[in-house]
Copies of this chain bind each other. A is one copy, B any other.
Amino acid sequence: MTTVGCIGGGQLGRMLGVAGIPLGLSFRFLDPSPEACAGRVGELVVGDYDDPAALDALARGADVVTYEFENVPVEAAVRVGAVPGPAALEQGQDRLREKELFRSLGIPTARFGSLEETGLPALVKSRRLGYDGKGQRLVEVPEPLGEDGLAEELVRFDRELSIVGVRGADGETRFWPVGENVHRDGILRVTRVPAADAPKREAEAICASLMDALGYVGVLAVELFDVGGRLLANEFAPRVHNTAHWTIEGAGTSQFENHLRAILGLPLGSTELRAPCAMVNLVGFVPPLVELLGLPAAHVHLYGKDEREGRKLGHVTLLDPGEETAETLVALASHENEERRGRGQAPRPRG
């Protein structure tokens, strides 16, 4: 039986497992937590990501090793011979190198560098280890950036888009439709596809040029700002991505299955849209399952994680949703709704 190792045992690993078990694949995950939610779909090696013994235990007998988050230590990826290769990690883990890579490929970005280069106000981000809006601050008057700080022009964008693509072992690339994303508190809340009037070809060209430059194999996502129809690349993620979770039901092949196909050298599957989708994240709490499943054409994905403020606990994809259904779901998933429940109503069962 073919065994896939995965550095990280969170929900992305779990969804890789759910996609791969029907292909006859067996999974093994490395995660520091014995509660890692991917443990339900494969063997769990509990250990640190930089622990050579744990990494060797992950890789032993595995046909391929991949990863599900972009802050995997590069040495760890090298040690296990991870696919995608370490180049994407090296470039993506440092915001400055990431932006410089965009620039070197002729991909437009917001201005970046020092505050002199960006002007004010600017966003100052830590170069390393930021995600979900962590490690960012808005700067309105000149101040020292610090050793790890990188300034970025504060872009007044019309909307946030993302393009997610897959590149096979033979260099073939395919792209899912462009998604339109809504973040709150730095966390993705809603993705809708297809994004209306999206500059699809430009987005695909950006993603393709990155994947080709990195000699990439697997799924890669690029977050984009749409400024009056012009695309600025914000960042990329060398992995399956929250903005493409809708592909499980909404596309010919899900991002999870195509990532597995790519890293195993198998033919890629269709990335065509099967139905317009709205994907809503469940952040911090899970509404009652009976309410979620009562929505028409709702596909519920819970990650089996304990509730905690700001934590992604699941997502729901609506196929071909009416506005009313989408609004109901967004309300169900919102904190306001949780607080109302908490104050005035009977205790809410956990999903």
Residues of A within 8 A of B (CB): 1, 14, 18, 21-24, 26, 40-41, 252, 261, 266-267, 269-270, 274-275, 286, 289-290, 293-294, 296-304, 314, 319, 351
Contact = CB atoms under 8 A, between A and B. Distances in A.
A302 B286 CA distance: 32
B18 A22 contact: yes
B274 A293 contact: no
A41 B39 CA distance: 10
A351 B24 contact: yes
A317 to B, nearest CB: 10
Q: State how many copies of this chain the complex holds.
A: 2
Contacts of A319: 252
A289 B274 contact: no
26 contacts: A18-B18, A21-B41, A21-B304, A22-B299, A23-B289, A23-B302, A24-B289, A24-B302, A24-B303, A24-B304, A24-B314, A24-B351, A26-B40, A40-B41, A41-B41, A252-B297, A252-B319, A266-B293, A267-B290, A267-B293, A267-B294, A269-B293, A269-B297, A270-B296, A270-B297, A274-B275
Nearest to A290: B266
A314 B24 CA distance: 9
A76 to B, nearest CB: 26
